[in-house]
Structure 1
């Protein structure tokens, strides 16, 4: 079979067949009287072997090694190809993410494209201080994409840079909004991370930067988060949005003395909105109260002052007779305040 016919049947160009011959990868076994290359059926089979291996990403040298060395073990080479392909895909994904970020910024000129790319490079700096400076500059950037800031924030481990990014995100959302919800969606996805630090940053950003309703909806499931910091953030936002599901964590915050004043204010608002919730709050606050330390009983007394109904007052009167003098004095003062 002459070279032209082999090219037509195989789909490999005549030029490439000649190159295979020149590098010793596929030399035809015969020549015609006129000196033209003549390929045998075995040569054609070898050609298909060559093309098959090339589709796996092997170089011509690797193909030659595989075909010439009887002891060649394909497993190691295939494993190398898998790793190389994964690395290439990761680079492509990073490039795609960068392109989408630039596209989301809506640049009108190449100068604006360069500005956005410069911001991205600054966020990738190995120096936390440089990343913080970039975040502070982003607050004055011409319409930086909120989603980009959200994703950058989730990946930022330095607390100062993360705080600056949260500020930049809040400023950006306040100016340009989050019309397609991409930033909130990115932060909500961060709440499902296996890393507690990522979940905390997501919860903080939703609290600070997202619209109240969107933040409450995203943080509802975080009320069961294993990290107490995430749960407390979620309880604060969900409770302020009227969600009674936040009551257990808010009560725990009061009793533990962690942001207890804010938690008590939210519990009071929830209690005034719904008599059923008021009863749940009262029961949760006063459960096993006698077995707690004096500081906890004082915090509970402070929370009871703002609750509606006669139930909180009855508990305060009991606390006014508490064995601990400080608890009794504080509770007595609160009773007089309610009357």
Structure 2
């Protein structure tokens, strides 16, 4: 079969077939009387082998090695192609994300595009101080797209930069919550921790309440604690069990006790909170440090609720517990008479 017919049937141009010939990749086994290339069936099969390998991204040199070396094993080469393809896809996804971010900022001129690109470079800097500066002082007061802020919040490990990002996201309002709330349901515990802190900063914003309520049941204690502090401040009694556990553990116990005190101003949950604290007092009867924290939490409750239990604790066998209860009882009684 002559080169023109091969090109027509195979879809490989005559120019490329000549190039294959010059490289020794596919050389026609015959020549006509006039000196024209003549391809056999085996030559045509080889052309299709070459084209198949090209679709995998192999270079012509790699294809030549694969076809000529009987001992050639494709596994290492295929693995390398996979790695290169993954790297290329990652770069293209990053480019797509940048383009979407620029598009979300609705630029009206190229200058607006350049400002957003500058902001993106700042947020992607390996230097934490530069990332923080990019958040706190965006170029020429360019508003930062909430999707970009949300992605940065969920990825940021530096606490100072994360705080600046949460502040900026909170300023963005409802759109900011919608962008970051998905992180509360991530499989990655670090992402959930960052997300719940960001959502907690906007706890009273529509959309945040449901996510924080779900986070109260998170398997990670840190996520539960952040959710409890945020939801408790909004008046949700669902946070009470976690807040009591925080007092027992000594984690943000002062803040947790203050929130329980505020929740107990409502007669409904007051007894429930009181019972939970007294139950922990019994459970940890041998641990004076835990019991003292619980007594301090009792002192935050309204006097009618806490007074009786504090009076009983003034006679506790543990002298340190009794002294703390006596001192706090005086504070509670003083507060109730003022």
Same fold (TM over 0.5): yes
Unaligned runs of 5+ in 1: none
Decide whether the 8 Å contact of 1:260 with 1:299 is kept in 2: no
Pair 210,248 (structure 1): closer, same or farther in 2 beyond 3 Å: closer
Decide whether the 8 Å contact of 2:177 with 2:208 is kept in 1: no
Could you tell me how far 1:47 is from its partner in structure 2?
A: 0.7
1:40-97 Cα distance to aligned partner (Å, 9 max, x none):
1111111111111111111011111111111211111111111111111111121122
Could you tell me how far 1:232 is from its partner in structure 2?
A: 1.6
Is residue 247 of structure 1 aligned with residue 240 of structure 2? yes
1:233-282 Cα distance to aligned partner (Å, 9 max, x none):
1101222344433111111234455444543343345445572x433312
Pair 274,11 (structure 1): closer, same or farther in 2 beyond 3 Å: farther
Pick the aligned partner of 1:278 from 270, 278, 286: 270
Could you tell me how far 1:226 is from its partner in structure 2?
A: 5.0
Q: Which of 1-10 and 290-299 deviates more?
A: 290-299
For residue 312 of structure 2, what is the aligned residue in structure 1?
A: 318
Decide whether the 8 Å contact of 2:31 with 2:37 is kept in 1: yes
Pair 116,139 (structure 1): closer, same or farther in 2 beyond 3 Å: closer
Unaligned runs of 5+ in 2: none
For residue 97 of structure 1, what is the aligned residue in structure 2?
A: 97
Secondary structure at the aligned position of 1:178 is classed as helix
Could you tell me how far 1:120 is from its partner in structure 2?
A: 1.0
Distance, in Å, in 2 between the alignment partners of 1:207 and 1:140 is 29
Could you tell me how far 1:210 is from its partner in structure 2?
A: 5.9
Could you tell me how far 1:215 is from its partner in structure 2?
A: 2.4
Could you tell me how far 1:227 is from its partner in structure 2?
A: 4.5
For residue 45 of structure 1, what is the aligned residue in structure 2?
A: 45
For residue 163 of structure 2, what is the aligned residue in structure 1?
A: 163
Is residue 193 of structure 1 aligned with residue 191 of structure 2? no
Runs of 4+ in 1 over 6 A off after TM superposition: none
Distance, in Å, in 1 between the alignment partners of 2:124 and 2:87 is 19
Pick the aligned partner of 2:325 from 308, 324, 327: 327
Decide whether the 8 Å contact of 2:115 with 2:139 is kept in 1: no
1:122-180 Cα distance to aligned partner (Å, 9 max, x none):
12222222222112113973221112112112222222222222222223x14xx4179
Secondary structure at the aligned position of 2:130 is classed as helix
Distance, in Å, in 1 between the alignment partners of 2:313 and 2:140 is 54
**Number of positions where the alignment pairs a residue of Structure 1 with one of Structure 2:** 328
TM-score (norm 2): 0.86
TM-score (norm 1): 0.86
Is residue 305 of structure 1 aligned with residue 298 of structure 2? no
Distance, in Å, in 1 between the alignment partners of 2:193 and 2:14 is 62
Pick the aligned partner of 1:236 from 229, 232, 239: 229
Decide whether the 8 Å contact of 1:146 with 1:178 is kept in 2: yes
For residue 121 of structure 1, what is the aligned residue in structure 2?
A: 121
Pick the aligned partner of 1:264 from 241, 257, 263: 257
Distance, in Å, in 1 between the alignment partners of 2:257 and 2:12 is 77
Pair 254,179 (structure 1): closer, same or farther in 2 beyond 3 Å: closer
For residue 137 of structure 1, what is the aligned residue in structure 2?
A: 137
Pair 336,122 (structure 1): closer, same or farther in 2 beyond 3 Å: closer
Decide whether the 8 Å contact of 2:30 with 2:39 is kept in 1: yes
Distance, in Å, in 1 between the alignment partners of 2:180 and 2:203 is 8
Could you tell me how far 1:105 is from its partner in structure 2?
A: 1.6
Pick the aligned partner of 1:182 from 164, 173, 179: 179
Distance, in Å, in 1 between the alignment partners of 2:241 and 2:227 is 12
